[in-house]
Amino acid sequence: MNNKTLLTLLLAASVAATSLFPSQLLAAPAETAKAKKAKAATKGKKKPARKAVSAPVSDYYTGEFVNFNQWKEVQQFTDEMATKHGFTRSELETLMGNVRYLDSVVQLVKPAPPGKPKNWTVYSSRFIEPIRIAAGVRFWNENAETLARAEALYGVPAEILAGVIGVETIYGRDTGRFRVIDTLTTLAFAYPVAPNREARMAFFRGELEATLLYARQTGIDPQSLQGSFAGAVGLPQFMPSNILKYGVDFDGDGHIDLRNSTADAIGSVASFLVGHGWQREQPGQIVYPATVSPARAWERFADGSLEAKFRPEDLTAAGIVTTSTLPPDMLYGLVDLQNGSEPTEYWVGSNNFYTITQYNRSYFYAMSVVELGRSIRLARP
């Protein structure tokens, strides 16, 4: 594969992937009075027509035919699905006979070359830009009632929900053009050589299993699902296992459809964040600009951890100063956003900031969600 082809695939592929290790299934929270009021306001109103957002089934990256049914590991997987979930071997063999090997996704999951410095300014410019902000304003205006209902029910601010979907797919503009069944089968049984190869293959086998279960539950053809080069699906780019765990039928039509229902996408993002620790009682501001002292006693706090575990007084004692007073009785962490050869940008994040990193395990990602959501909120009339 030449560099031009690989670059084209990278640009076309969806940006995001969801949390790699989701926690247990979350029951929907009890409906609050605020949620009931928001829901009542929409009662009796005609639902807006659904907008198809996924690419046509014919418009996907095709791969190379490989007879996966001859692979010993695939045969073992087929046996497990038949024994564990009651699938018939003949239907699975027919399905696997149509699966394509995608060398392109094998190339895309390979780690980036070492030594390239991270650059927050360059990264954020891809997401906090006029086209995406304008699309976010339209999305918020068209789905204001649904966003308000999700915020009231789950406690996740509308701007965070809009930020996630905007960063993931530009509000459904780019949901991915890889057949999920091809992607997951390729990565489950032909993952590239890497130190964590076995763990990654096990992860993608689990996602392949979830895909087949989701397709059976919803009555769809698993070959019709399209997504990112990692197998993520729909407006919010959920991995199939997360659709099963956190997917919400938020439009009440009896189906969870993250490809075509903006309401289901909004409710499911909120459900995912609550399931990973979002706390509604915490303040709306979840990250605070900070400076660090030259003494560098603060360096032990810059450990790349994805959890808030330090008290405000601990941060202050180490020379970490925020531009505004941190709310007491909460835990925080130091967020360092590297800027290549330019000075690193420092912030202090609360629990809810770190919850966003469970969607994509990156400070850059979480900060892009926060900044895009804020920009959209400020740009709305």
Centroid of chain to Cα 143: 20
Please tell me which of 34-48, 109-123, 360-374 the model is most confident about, judged by mean pLDDT.
360-374
CATH topology of domain 64-113+175-261: Helicase, Ruva Protein; domain 3 (1.10.8)
Q: Residue 338 belongs to what H/E stretch?
A: strand 332-339
Please give the pLDDT value at position 84.
96
Does the pLDDT of residue 21 top 50, yes or no? no
Stretch 337-352: mean pLDDT: 95
Quickly state the pLDDT bin for 54 (edges 50, 70, 90).
very low
Please name which of 358, 378, 374 lies closest in space to residue 16, comparing C-alpha atoms: 358
CA–CA separation, 11 and 313 (whole Å): 44
More confident call, 243 vs 47: 243
Token couple for 167: 């960063």
Catalytic residue set: 168
Cβ contact 265:175 at 8 Å? no
pTM comes to 0.84
- Residue 210's pLDDT is 98
User: Where exactly does CATH 1.10.8.350 map onto the chain?
Assistant: 64-113+175-261
pLDDT at 205: 98
Q: Decide if 106 contacts 192 (C-beta within 8 A).
A: yes
Residue 36: its pLDDT value, please?
53
Q: Is the pLDDT of residue 43 over 80?
A: no
Contact 66, 96 (CB under 8 A): no
The interaxial angle of helices 130-142 and 144-154, nearest 10 deg, is: 80
Instruction: Using alpha carbons, list the distances in angstroms from residue 8 to 249, 290, 350, 378.
Output: 35, 38, 37, 33
Place of tokens 């293959």: 201
How is the chain split among helix, strand and coil, in percent rounded to 5? 50, 10, 40
**Nearest to residue 215, comparing CAs of 252, 187, 243, 188?**
243
Using pLDDT thresholds of 50, 70 and 90, give the confidence band for residue 312.
very high
Query: Identity (one letter) of the amino acid at 267?
Result: G
Euclidean distance between CA atoms 367 and 204, whole angstroms: 27
